[in-house]
Structures are given as C-alpha cells and as structure tokens.
Chain A
Amino acid sequence: MIEEIVRYVGAALLVLGTFINLVGAIGLNRFKNFYLRLHAATVSTIGGTFYPLLGLALISFSTKDLGEWRFFMGGSLVVAAFVLLILAPAGSHALARATHRTSVSRPEPIIADHLEEDRGR
C-alpha cells in the first residue's frame, strides 16, 4: 500500500518536472531581455530537474525488485538533487551579478534598480 502511494507521488513529481520544463522552455523563447530569460532558464534547471530527480528517488525506493540496491540508487538521486538545488541558483546568481556589474545587458525599460542605487552610480 505505502509503496503504491510513494510510487504515485514520485510519478506526480516527474509530471510536475516535465510541466516546469515546458514552462521554462516557453519562457526562454518568449522573454525579452537577458535577466528575464535567465529567470526562465533557472526555472527549468532547478524546478525541472530537482522535482524529477526526487520523483525518481521515490520510485526507486518503492521498487522492491531492486533489493538493497534501491537505497543506493535512490540515495544517489537525492544527493544529486540536493547538489543541483544549491549549485544551479549559485550559478545563475553569479551570471546575473557579473552581467549587472559589467553592464553587458541593459534591459529596457528599467522601473527600479536598487542594486545600482546602492552602488551610487
């Protein structure tokens, strides 16, 4: 019983990840400037990979046929999901920060740029 529930939750997470990936891909195509596109890319790298990996971990935990190896597989997936969860935001943060500091991309229109105000430029 509990295996069935865990398996369905895992499958639901996989579907959710697919949906987020689709949304991210549409955003990457449709958004106008660098920062917005970076946001869309981050949506699909974090949401679209973290949830499916967790879902796969749950599915492998609930697959009794794998024997003890299911913990090995599922554990690796959880670790991979965690590493991705902390790495992808740091990467996109570094990209956005570098772009802002070097003023490579100047989006139009800017309604508020508090970072620039804080730097006093």
Chain B
Amino acid sequence: MRKYIVLLSIVLTTSVLAYITTYLEAIGLVGLDTRYLAKLFLTLAYNPLARELTVLSPEAVTSIVWDFRGIDTFYETVVFYMAIIAALAIYRGVGYPSIRSEKGLSIIVKVVTKLLIPINIAIAVSVAAHGHLTPGGGFQAGAALAVISVLLAVVFSASSFARVGVSLSKAIALRTVGLLAIAAVVFVPVVFNALTGVQAYLMQNYVKVDSEFAFPTHIQSQLISGTLIWFNLAEFLAVSFGFFVVFMLLSLREDVVREQLGEEHGH
C-alpha cells in the first residue's frame, strides 16, 4: 500500500510540474519565461556580432557551464575537490603497497586491454580538446581517462599502477596542477589589470562594455573560444587524476588497509 502511495505521488508531482512548465507557461499564466532564457543562451553562444555578450563557442552547454554560469562550475569543481580530500583523509597513513606478484585476469583480457588503453587516451584527449566545439568537455574527458585506472586495477591488479609509473603522490600532484591551472585562468584578467591598468574583471573571457581585455579567440585560425579550451584542459587534468586517486585507493585490498590502519583505529 505504502509503495503505491509513493508511486502515485511521484506520478502526480511529475505530471503537475510537466503541465505547469509546458501549458501554463505557454499561455502566459505563470510569469516565468524559461524558453526566453534558453533562446538567449542559444543566440549568444556563438554570435560574432555581439562581441560583448558572446562566448564564441558553438557548444551551448560548454558556454553555459564555463562562461554564462561559470560560478556554478567552479563550485562543482570545488565539491569534487573536497570529496577527494575527504577520501584522502579517510585513507591517511595508508601507503600504496610496493610491487607484489599479483596475477590479474587471463592473458587474452590483458592483451585486449593493452590495445584498448591507447585508444582510450586518444578519445579522452580529443573530447577534452574539442570541448568547446562538440559535446563533451573537461569532466567527461576526465571520466573517460579515469576508466584506465579501473581497467588497470581489475585486469592487471592494483600493483600495476607502479609499473606504468602512476603513484598516489604523482596523481595528487597532477590533480593539484589542474586545479591551480583553473585558478590561474580565473585570475589572469586581474593580474593583467594590475600590470597594465586596463579595466578587467575576475573570470572575464572577452571584451565587455567598459573593458577591452579579451583572451585570444583563435590560434592560427583554429577556434579556441578564449578561456573555454584552457578551462576544459585544466578540468580534464584535475578530474582524471582526481578519479585516479579515488580508484587507486578503492582498489586497495581491505586487509592491507586494515593492517596499516590497525593500531591507530583499534580494529
């Protein structure tokens, strides 16, 4: 009975919300024009005629995520950053074990995975570098690259991270470099302002009504959309190695972790 009440309330709420957003808004009963906002974003995402408002990126989602509503994404990145800090805090004092002879899956799976990993890296880099042109971007590319860490842990065993040259501290360092790169891009206009005296704002991308500062839009006729490519590449680095850290920690055997944490936590 309880299940049916929950189900019924979900269906009712969904249909009422759908009715409000489609019909009531269309005939102007609710004073909330969400379509207008969408039209505005779509018109301005790539619009060389409106230089003071556009992002010059044909990918509307990336424009919204990194420019129109940039603060949202910085906040999301910070949440992700904090989550990894929490994971590291829980696992503090756990050293990654040095190489042991662990077997992993059969040779067939290993060979196929070795063929797959270069393809995976190529796809991840292309998704990140085309983030301002095609769907995708830094976070998606980072998640695609982080698949490699799961493949390594499952197919080749957790000791294979050391063999391919990824250690926990290196992954943390690379992730921090990515986050610092995001912060650097954010602060470039401010530094520019301090050095030259030209009016420029935090997180600014292109010229504004009272500011002449602008990031380069093209590199040798290749569209790079100002800050977007730098944000995407930096986020790619931060997210991929952030996930690497988490998956490396999760791939540790429980008895190894307990053994190392043993005395401190009294298990």
- Chain A residues with a Cβ under 8 A of chain B: 79, 83, 86-87, 89-90, 93-94, 97
Which residues does B use to contact A, with CB under 8 Å? 105-106, 108-109, 112-113, 115-116, 119
Q: Tell me, in angstroms, the Cα distance from A94 to B110 when the chains sit together.
A: 10
Q: Are B115 and A94 in contact (CB under 8 A)?
A: no
A93 CB contact (under 8 Å) in B109, B115, B116, B119: B109
Q: Can you list 19 contacts pairing A with B, beta carbon distance less than 8 Å?
A: A79-B119, A83-B116, A83-B119, A86-B112, A86-B115, A86-B116, A87-B116, A90-B108, A90-B109, A90-B112, A90-B113, A93-B106, A93-B108, A93-B109, A94-B105, A94-B106, A94-B109, A97-B105, A97-B106
Instruction: State the CA gap A94–B151 with chains docked (Å).
Output: 13
Complex Cα spacing A79 to B115, Å:
13
CB distance from A101 to the nearest CB of B (A): 10
Contact B106 A87 (CB under 8 A): no
In the bound complex, how far is the Cα of B115 from the Cα of A89, in angstroms? 14
Residue of B nearest to A79 (CB): B119
Instruction: Please give, as numbers and ranges, the residues of chain A lying within 8 Å of B113 by CB-CB distance.
Output: 90
Q: Is the interface of A mostly helix, strand, loop or mixed?
A: helix
Tell me the interface secondary structure of chain B in the complex.
Answer: helix
Residues of A near B105 (CB, < 8 A) are 94, 97
Residues of B within 8 A of A94 (CB): 105-106, 109
CB distance from B110 to the nearest CB of A (A): 9
Cβ–Cβ < 8 Å partners of B112 in chain A: 86-87, 90
Complex: how many Å from CA A97 to CA B109?
11
Q: Chain A's nearest CB lies how many Å from the CB of B76?
A: 30
Task: Note all chain A residues with C-beta closer than 8 A to B115.
Answer: 86
A115 to chain B, nearest CB (A): 12
B residues less than 8 Å from A83 (CB atoms): 116, 119
**Chain B residues, CB < 8 A from A97:** 105-106
B contact residues around A89 at 8 Å (CB): 108
A55 to B2 alpha-carbon distance, docked (Å): 51
Give the CA-CA distance A10 to B115 in the complex, in Å.
Answer: 27
Taken together as a complex, chains A and B put the C-alpha atoms of A86 and B113 apart, in Å, by 9
CB distance from B109 to the nearest CB of A (A): 5
Q: With A and B bound together, what is the CA distance between A97 and B108 in angstroms?
A: 11
Which residues in B have their C-beta under 8 angstroms from that of A86? 112, 115-116
Nearest residue (CB) in A for B108 is: A93
